[in-house]
């Protein structure tokens, strides 16, 4: 099993540009999570999908952030327009069930730098 | 407010020594508590998951304990190795249904030779 796959691994962009992060969950998992990690705030849940449907997006910072899951094997997190304060490591994770019960498997992360 | 507090923030120990990391939480109702290990530049990896009825759980040289009455957990690392150098994150689940995972900010452990 290849685990959770994220791309790109590193992204450097200028303020105002659109950024799209991609995630392929583990095959057979029906829950997918997007997290953001910074030194100041640690890991924060942004959004959670179950069976491709957004269940909890209360962690999405603002309207500049959007996430989609068009099918069970692919999800995107888009930031438009990007700002320097969006610089962080973004993780995607997947699990075989509910977030509070089942183990989550994390991808390697995408390190985003907004200049 | 549901919170997870970890201590110490950072720790340096010599290879071969034991150490204990602490996690205090105020999450209620409580479902389970997890410890993750995060190596530099990588995603977190689960070490243990404990429900409120479990007092201890081991994973190799890692042993987690849980006291649901005092809302405290600890992660004990035995005979530390250089590869144990990482950030250790405590995560508490608020309820079984839903997404209420409360993350601590982690303890950074450095093991030196």
pLDDT digits (tens, 9 = 90+) for A54-86: 988 888 988 999 999 999 999 999 999 999 999
pLDDT tens string B18-34:
999 999 999 888 888 99
Q: Do B43 and A100 touch (CB under 8 A)?
A: no
Non-local CB neighbours of A40 within 8 Å, separated by 6+ positions = none
Closest chain A residue to the Cα of B108, Cα to Cα: A39
Q: Do B43 and A104 touch (CB under 8 A)?
A: no
Q: Do B49 and A103 touch (CB under 8 A)?
A: yes
Percentage of chain B lying above the pLDDT 70 cut: 95
Contact call for residues A80 and A114 (beta carbons, < 8 A): no
Q: Do B43 and A45 touch (CB under 8 A)?
A: no
What is the separation of C-alpha B65 from the centre of its chain, rounded to a whole number of angstroms? 9
Average pLDDT, chain B: 92
Percentage of chain A lying above the pLDDT 70 cut: 97
Using a CB-CB distance cutoff of 8 angstroms, which residues of chain B are in contact with residue A104?
46
At A115, list the tokens.
Answer: 């200049």
Q: Do A42 and B106 touch (CB under 8 A)?
A: yes
Average pLDDT, chain A: 93
In 3-state terms, what secondary structure has residue A65?
Answer: strand
Mean pLDDT (whole number) for A32-55: 92
Min Cα–Cα distance to chain A from B81, Å: 23
- Please report the residues numbered 46 through 105 in chain A whose beta carbons come closer than 8 angstroms to any beta carbon of chain B: 48, 55-56, 91, 93, 98-101, 103-105
Name which of B43, B95, B103 is nearest A42 (Cβ-Cβ).
B103
Using a CB-CB distance cutoff of 8 angstroms, which residues of chain A are in contact with residue B45?
106
Confidence bin at B42 (pLDDT 50/70/90): very high
End-to-end distance of chain B based on CA atoms, in angstroms? 41
């Amino acid at each position: 099993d290849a685990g959770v796959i994220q791309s790109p691994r590193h992204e450097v962009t200028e303020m105002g540009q659109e950024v799209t992060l991609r995630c392929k969950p583990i095959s057979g998992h029906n829950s997918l999570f997007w997290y953001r990690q910074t030194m100041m705030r640690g890991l924060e849940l942004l959004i959670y999908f179950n069976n491709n449907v957004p269940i909890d997006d209360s962690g999405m910072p603002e309207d500049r952030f959007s996430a989609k899951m068009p099918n069970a094997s692919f999800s995107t997190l888009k930031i438009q327009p990007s700002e320097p304060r969006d610089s962080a490591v973004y993780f995607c994770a997947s699990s075989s069930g509910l977030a509070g019960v089942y183990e989550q498997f994390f991808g390697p992360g995408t390190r985003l730098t907004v200049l | 407010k549901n919170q997870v507090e970890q201590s110490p923030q950072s720790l340096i120990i010599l290879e071969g020594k034991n150490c204990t990391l602490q996690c205090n939480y105020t999450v209620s109702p409580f479902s389970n508590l997890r410890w993750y290990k995060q190596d530099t530049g990588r995603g977190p990896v689960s070490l243990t998951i404990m429900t409120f009825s479990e007092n201890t759980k081991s994973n190799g040289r890692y042993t987690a304990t849980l006291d649901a009455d005092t809302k405290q957990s600890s992660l004990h690392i035995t005979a530390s190795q250089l590869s144990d150098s990482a950030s250790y994150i405590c995560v508490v689940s608020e309820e079984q249904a839903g997404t209420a995972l409360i993350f601590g900010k982690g303890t950074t452990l450095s093991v030196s030779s």
